[in-house]
Structure 1
Amino acid sequence: MEQQSAQERWERRTQRPLLALAVVFAAAYAVPIVYGSAGPSLRSACAWIEWGVWAAFAVDYVVRLVLAEQRWAFVRTHWLDLCAVLLPLIQPLRLLRLVSTLLLVGQRARMASQVQLTTYVAGSVLGLLIFGSLAVLSVERESPEGNIRSLDDALWWSFTTMTTVGYGDHAPTTGLGRLIAVGLMLSGIALLGVVTANIAAWFIERFEKDDVGEREQTEAIRSLTDEVRALRAEVAALRAPALTGGSAPGPPAREETTPVT
């Protein structure tokens, strides 16, 4: 059994706690948006929870960097994690906290060995749909020219945007809202490509298995055909003397010798 490094042990132990914190972050982000009448104390508590979850992921990145055997190689291969950690510090907007935390959660979830591609894609679609709806609702609800006023409108808009259908009955009017729309469009196209590639790979694998089975059957039939031909040749060789009036060759006669006295 291969011995795990300190970094791998840390990642394995912190996988579930960090994903649980991601669920807490989702609740803290959604509550002030869904309940628009939430008081200042509740909004402040949710903001502190959001910062706390982001800080936990930032500490996780720092610890993994310290435990890495080759730190520069770790930074090069985990540059998206680093950008997600630094993003809220550059401009501490709530939307940036959302984006950075989603990136960190996605990176850590993808590292889990038990997470299959289908589960990862389905979780990504559901997460983008929910958080995209909440984000656009938070910036479009108070817009004078906006028509995304409720969570139902936001969910419908997010679904049509991610699937690149775009009915046009709901559309963002603010700069941040349009920026969210661009992100959802690109994410929807990327996830659609992943799903299409996964389905194509499944069909190719099935076809390859069918081809292997057909080749094995063809080889078996060819082998049986060769054996039948060999048996027919032997039978024909045995029947040839009888057809010509002769007899089949028998075993050579033994010579009798008279004992010398």
Structure 2
Amino acid sequence: MELFSPCSKGHSLADGLWWTVVTLTTVGYGDLSPATPGGRATAVVLMVTSCGVVSFITANIAAFFIEDDKEDDLSHEVRSLHQRLDHIEELLTDRSARPAEESQGDRRRYGKCKQAVATRVSRLAGHSRPAGRVSSHPPGGPGRDTSGIVPRRLID
């Protein structure tokens, strides 16, 4: 309320806008500040531009670290699923050596489990459904094609 004070210097609307921009951009000029309208206009452009540039750089640096963490999590999840699938195939290979003990129900459960793992890997990779055909037969069984369970770019 300095405007109504008897000791007021007679600040203008431009002075008020200058004070607002300096305060909002947290520049906070002290002893030395531009006095001419051209100097103030240049300073305002530089203040606003520098705020935008600094924000842009900071956001890109943060995005780099966040994306790196996502890739690490995805790689770990894919490795874990590969290990589980290898273990399942190993167990089924052992069982296929004893065909009398293997039942049709075991094959169906294996197919469902294998499909669930393939679907999970595919979703992690950003696909809506698994790439390629996933066989419901145990390893070495008829129609075996497990090449499409995990997209090639995740294996390499």
Instruction: Please tell me the TM-score bracket, short chain as reference.
Output: 0.3 to 0.5
What TM-score does the superposition give when structure 1 sets the normalisation length? 0.28
Which structure ranks higher in relative contact order (CA pairs < 8 Å, sequence separation ≥ 6)?
2
TM norm structure 2: 0.45
Greater C-alpha radius of gyration: 1
